[in-house]
Each structure stands twice: as structure tokens, then as C-alpha cells.
């Protein structure tokens, strides 16, 4: 600390407790309501607590009474001797800037922080950020002024009373303005709150701001109400916007879950993962593999969106094209034989139960948002989204509608080509139980693309063709239900622009 406070502390040690209990008239106003103030500070402390400048241990005692795990760091040996005697703790020798760095939930200090210069205050607050847990906080009980004018008025007033020790102290030490503390806190990564407790003292609480990392942006997508489409009376239509996941589609949930489950079970032996996908699954897997330092190899039928292929590559995946004419079945066969030959982990989205399980949280997010779900509408590619949602929602009375393009086999039709991308089933998914389905909606490409345009024009929503198909299905089915209809929009239109989605 830049001032030689140590000398002051040594003098202070013997009469500190007298001052705080109001026996020293000069400091009576500074310490007015002392026990109450300490109580307010202690009340806000939790968990592992570092107390700086415990002095003679008055706040330390209250923290002890709360049963907190306390490290007390005190620069003055004289003060520490008194405090240690009072609390039975051994105080660490050190100060705000020099101490044994350790993780903490609370960093707390009473009537000491003003011994640091402004730049030391900033250094300290910034240093503490990495020590504090996610809901960590800094609690500073100390003199703070509301304005320079206020500080001057207070100094003038106590000078007129002849309180020269106090006036010297106020002029010499680094009492900050509240506004300055607020700014320091904000720019060091904290939210700032301050309550004034007497003429001098403010209780300042700096709570750590926790910033999300990119990987946190999977799930918890927005759910919006669509109000521009004609609906039967008593029906509300909601859309879950899965394009707001990190990789831009619902499949980020799948990628994350499949990889985490496989790692948990120890199924990934060679550090390489392989899958067949039209794209979104590959993007979701690429993100998950990147997060866990794994290699990803993806088999993609040639015709699929080049944007998705570019994105997979950008995220570090290696792409292998299979013939468009062989469809997804051809891509699956190629992925499987690569896994058999090399020992790479085949994620097998079309068969693994980890696929539908990836959407447990999606179902929860939806019910948390709307309460009762009277009808759920979701497209099927692998069938995972629909199966996961239906397994969780159907038992609560939700009507379930599965959506496919013309050219998909769920309705008993023949397998054939379609332009609606991401949905469409060539063989019945093993995990999809027939009794989970209340209705199958088979939507033409033209209807799906028309709905995509309508969503852009009417709602400002830029979604992919499978969303258009699902909206059409939801509108077709709306007369069969009362209440809340929720439709899943798996991705955005920008990754289909090269396929002229709006033309």
C-alpha cells in the first residue's frame, strides 16, 4: 500500500475498538451504527470468505457466527494480535494485494479499502475476479462520498468542530466517490450496488458478471407467438426458433448430447467420430467434437446445401461426398463401413437412443414457456426430434403431429426425391414407436416453400424449408385442437439461399 499506513495501524490497534464504539468523539459519526453496519455486511457473505483488513476482528466474529470458512488477511501485527485473540483464528499476514491467492465465494472488508490508491483499488478488484466463484461477490463496507462537493462540505464541517485528526485523515487517505467505485466495478466485470448506512459509510456489493461462452449458446432458444396466420378460435400458435443455437440449427442439441454420452460411456476410442448427414447434424457434431478435441468425418450426399457443407468444414470437419442417387442410405452405409474399418466412433444418429434423448430439454423449455402444450408439430429426418418430444409430451395429453415431405415413407408412400431439406424418411426409424404419432402430415415442396416465403413476409422469420413444411402442417391440423400449438422451426433460410429458397 502506497501510504505508510502501518504506523497508523500500530497506533490505532489499541484504541480501534474505542473508536468504533463511539468513545472517540472525532470518529463517532464515521462509526455510527457500527454493529448494525457490520451485521448488514456479514448478512451478504456466503461460502468461502476472504476478509481483508479484519483489524481487531469485529466483522470476523460475525462471519464466524454464520459458520463461514474464513481466511483473514491483516497487515498489522498489532491489530492481528487483538483480532486473533478475539476470534481464535490465525490471521494471514498480508494485504488487499499481497496474500495467498485462493478460490473464494466472498471477499469482504470493513473500513479498510480506502487505504488503496485508485489504481490499487482497480488492480485488487480485477485480481479478485478470477478467484471468485460464479456467484461470487466483493463486499466493501467503507467511507464513500456521493460527490466532491459533499466531501468538501463534510471536511469543512468537521474542521469547524476542531476535529483535526479526522480532517487530516479525510484529506490524506483515498476515499473514493461512489460514482468512481461504480465505474471501476462495471469495467472490471461486476454489477455494483451501494447502500448508504450513515453519513460516511456505504455498503457496496460487487457481484460478478458471468459472461456466456459460445458453447453455452446451445438450447434455451426463443419461443415466439405467430399472430399473422388465420387460426380457429381458441388456438394460439407458437414457434420454437432453433436457428438461435450456436451452429444455427436444432441439431446442435443432438451433437452435444451424442458426443457427451459417448465420452461418458468411453465409446470414443480413436479420437475420431464419423456420421452421415445432410448437414445440420454434421454442424452440431463438429461443434461438439471441437469442444472435446475430437476429429470429425462426415459423409454427405452431394446434392445437399453447399452452405452447410462449408460451415462443417469451417468448424473443422472433414467431408466426404456420396452419390446423390444413393440418398442418405448410401451415405450411412459409407460412414458405417469407414467406422468398421478404422474403429472411429459412428454416432449413428438414425438408430441411437441418444438421438431422441437429446430433446428432453427442448420439451422442458417448451412447457416452461407455454405451460400446457395442446399440440406439438415437428418434422422428421432421423425422427429424433419428434420421438424425443412426443415421448415427453404425449403422456401429458399433447396431440402429436409428425411432418414429412412428399417422397418420405411415414404415410405409407413411396420413397422419392424432394426439395424440402432436413426432413424426409427413407426407412422407418427404429426408435419411433407408431403409437407416439397422432397424425402424419405429408407436405409438398411447393407448400413448404410457399410457407417459408409467407413467414418472411408476414413474420420477419427467415427459416428453412422444413420449418415451412411444419408450419403448413400446423395450420392444416389447427382445427383439430384448442389451446396452444407449438411448431418446431429447425433452422434458418440463409443456408439454403444457394438453392433459391425464396424463388
Ligand X SMILES: Cc1ncc(COP(=O)(O)O)c(C=O)c1O
Place of cell 437429446: 358
Residue 468 CB, nearest approach to ligand X (Å): 10
- Identify residues 139-178 at the interface with ligand X (CB under 6 A): none
Smaller CB separation from ligand X, 202 or 251? 251
- Report if residue 424 touches ligand X, rule: CB under 6 A: no
Please name the helix (run of DSSP H) or strand (run of DSSP E) that holds residue 257, with its range, or none: helix 251-265
157 conformational bin, left if phi > 0, alpha if psi -120 to 50, beta if neither? alpha
- Identify residues 14-53 at the interface with ligand X (CB under 6 A): none
To the query of whether residue 251 is one of the catalytic residues in this protein, the response is yes
- The residue range among 3-11, 28-36, 328-336, 373-381 that interacts with ligand X, by the rule CB under 6 A, is 373-381
- Report if residue 105 touches ligand X, rule: CB under 6 A: no
Q: Which residue from 62, 80, 72 is spatially nearest to 96, judged by alpha carbons?
A: 72
- Report if residue 419 touches ligand X, rule: CB under 6 A: no
Cβ-closest position to ligand X: 422
CA distance 91 to 87: 10
57 conformational bin, left if phi > 0, alpha if psi -120 to 50, beta if neither? left
Residue 388 CB, nearest approach to ligand X (Å): 8
Smaller CB separation from ligand X, 21 or 454? 454
Q: How many CA atoms lie within 13 A of 339 on its CB side?
A: 21
Smaller CB separation from ligand X, 87 or 280? 280
Q: How many CA atoms lie within 13 A of 300 on its CB side?
A: 27
- Report if residue 490 touches ligand X, rule: CB under 6 A: yes
- Report if residue 422 touches ligand X, rule: CB under 6 A: yes
**CA angle, 58 then 62 then 64, to 5°:** 110
- Report if residue 379 touches ligand X, rule: CB under 6 A: yes
The neighbour count for residue 270, using CB atoms within 10 Å, is 13
Q: Please check whether residue 170 is in contact with residue 187, taking contact to mean a CB–CB distance below 8 angstroms.
A: no
Which position among 64, 71, 280, 322 is part of the footprint of ligand X (CB under 6 A)?
280
- Count of residues of this chain found to bind ligand X when the rule CB under 6 A is applied: 19
Which position among 322, 466, 477, 499 is part of the footprint of ligand X (CB under 6 A)?
466
Which position among 464, 474, 484, 493 is part of the footprint of ligand X (CB under 6 A)?
464
Please name the helix (run of DSSP H) or strand (run of DSSP E) that holds residue 334, with its range, or none: helix 327-342
Please name the helix (run of DSSP H) or strand (run of DSSP E) that holds residue 477, with its range, or none: helix 465-477
- Report if residue 491 touches ligand X, rule: CB under 6 A: yes
Residue 187 CB, nearest approach to ligand X (Å): 42
Q: Which residues bind ligand X (CB under 6 A)?
A: 249, 251, 278, 280-281, 379-386, 422-423, 464, 466, 490-491
Give the active site residues.
251
Amino acid at each position: 500500500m502506497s501510504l505508510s499506513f502501518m504506523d497508523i495501524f500500530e497506533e490505532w490497534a489499541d484504541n480501534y475498538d474505542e473508536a468504533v464504539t463511539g468513545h472517540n468523539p472525532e470518529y463517532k459519526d464515521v462509526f455510527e451504527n457500527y454493529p448494525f453496519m457490520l451485521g448488514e455486511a456479514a448478512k451478504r457473505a456466503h461460502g468461502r470468505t476472504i476478509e481483508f483488513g479484519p483489524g481487531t476482528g469485529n466483522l470476523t466474529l460475525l462471519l464466524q457466527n454464520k459458520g463461514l470458512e474464513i481466511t483473514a488477511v491483516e497487515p498489522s501485527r498489532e491489530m492481528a494480535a487483538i483480532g486473533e485473540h478475539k476470534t481464535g483464528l490465525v490471521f494471514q499476514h498480508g494485504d488487499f494485494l499481497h496474500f495467498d491467492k485462493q478460490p473464494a465465494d466472498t471477499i469482504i472488508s470493513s473500513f479498510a479499502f480506502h487505504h488503496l490508491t485508485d489504481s490499487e483499488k482497480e488492480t485488487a478488484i480485477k485480481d479478485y475476479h478470477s478467484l471468485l466463484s460464479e456467484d461470487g461477490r466483493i463486499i466493501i463496507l467503507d467511507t464513500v462520498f456521493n460527490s466532491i462537493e459533499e466531501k468538501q462540505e463534510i471536511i469543512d464541517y468537521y474542521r469547524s468542530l476542531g476535529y483535526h485528526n479526522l480532517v487530516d485523515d479525510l484529506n490524506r487517505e483515498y476515499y473514493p466517490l461512489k460514482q468512481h467505485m461504480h465505474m471501476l466495478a462495471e469495467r472490471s466485470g461486476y454489477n455494483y450496488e451501494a447502500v448508504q448506512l450513515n453519513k460516511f459509510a456505504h455498503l457496496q456489493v460487487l457481484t460478478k458478471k458471468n459472461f456466456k461462452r459460445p458453447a453455452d449458446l446451445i438450447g434455451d432458444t426463443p419461443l415466439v407467438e405467430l399472430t399473422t396466420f388465420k387460426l380457429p378460435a381458441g388456438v394460439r400458435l407458437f414457434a420454437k426458433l432453433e436457428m438461435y443455437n450456436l451452429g444455427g440449427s436444432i441439431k446442435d442439441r443432438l451433437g452435444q448430447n451424442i458426443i457427451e454420452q459417448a465420452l461418458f460411456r468411453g465409446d470414443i476410442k480413436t479420437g475420431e467420430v464419423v456420421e452421415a448427414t445432410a448437414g445440420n447434424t454434421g454442424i452440431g457434431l463438429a461443434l461438439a467434437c471441437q469442444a472435446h478435441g475430437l476429429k470429425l468425418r462426415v459423409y454427405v450426399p452431394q446434392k445437399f446445401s453447399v452452405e452447410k457443407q462449408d460451415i462443417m468444414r469451417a468448424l473443422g470437419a472433414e467431408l466426404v461426398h456420396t452419390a446423390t442417387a444413393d440418398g442418405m442410405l448410401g451415405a450411412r452405409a459409407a460412414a458405417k463401413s469407414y467406422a468398421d474399418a478404422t474403429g472411429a466412433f459412428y454416432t449413428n444418429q438414425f438408430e441411437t437412443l441418444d438421438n431422441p434423448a437429446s430433446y428432453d430439454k427442448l420439451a422442458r423449455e417448451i412447457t416452461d414457456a407455454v405451460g400446457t402444450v395442446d399440440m406439438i408439430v415437428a418434422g422428421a429426418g432421423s425422427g429424433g426430434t419428434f420421438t424425443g418430444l412426443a415421448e415427453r409430451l404425449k403422456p401429458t395429453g399433447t396431440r402429436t403431429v409428425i411432418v414429412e415431405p412428399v417422397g418420405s415413407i411415414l404415410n405409407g408412400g413411396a420413397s422419392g426425391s424432394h426439395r424440402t431439406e432436413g426432413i424426409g424418411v427413407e426407412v422407418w426409424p427404429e426408435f419411433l414407436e407408431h403409437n407416439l404419432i397422432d397424425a402424419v402430415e405429408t407436405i409438398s415442396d411447393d407448400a413448404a416453400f410457399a410457407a417459408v416465403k409467407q413467414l418472411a413476409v408476414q413474420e420477419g422469420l427467415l427459416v428453412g424449408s422444413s420449418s415451412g413444411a411444419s408450419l403448413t402442417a400446423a395450420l392444416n391440423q389447427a382445427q383439430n385442437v384448442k389451446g396452444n400449438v407449438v411448431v418446431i422451426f429447425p433452422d434458418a433460410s440463409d443456408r439454403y439461399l444457394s438453392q433459391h429458397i425464396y424463388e
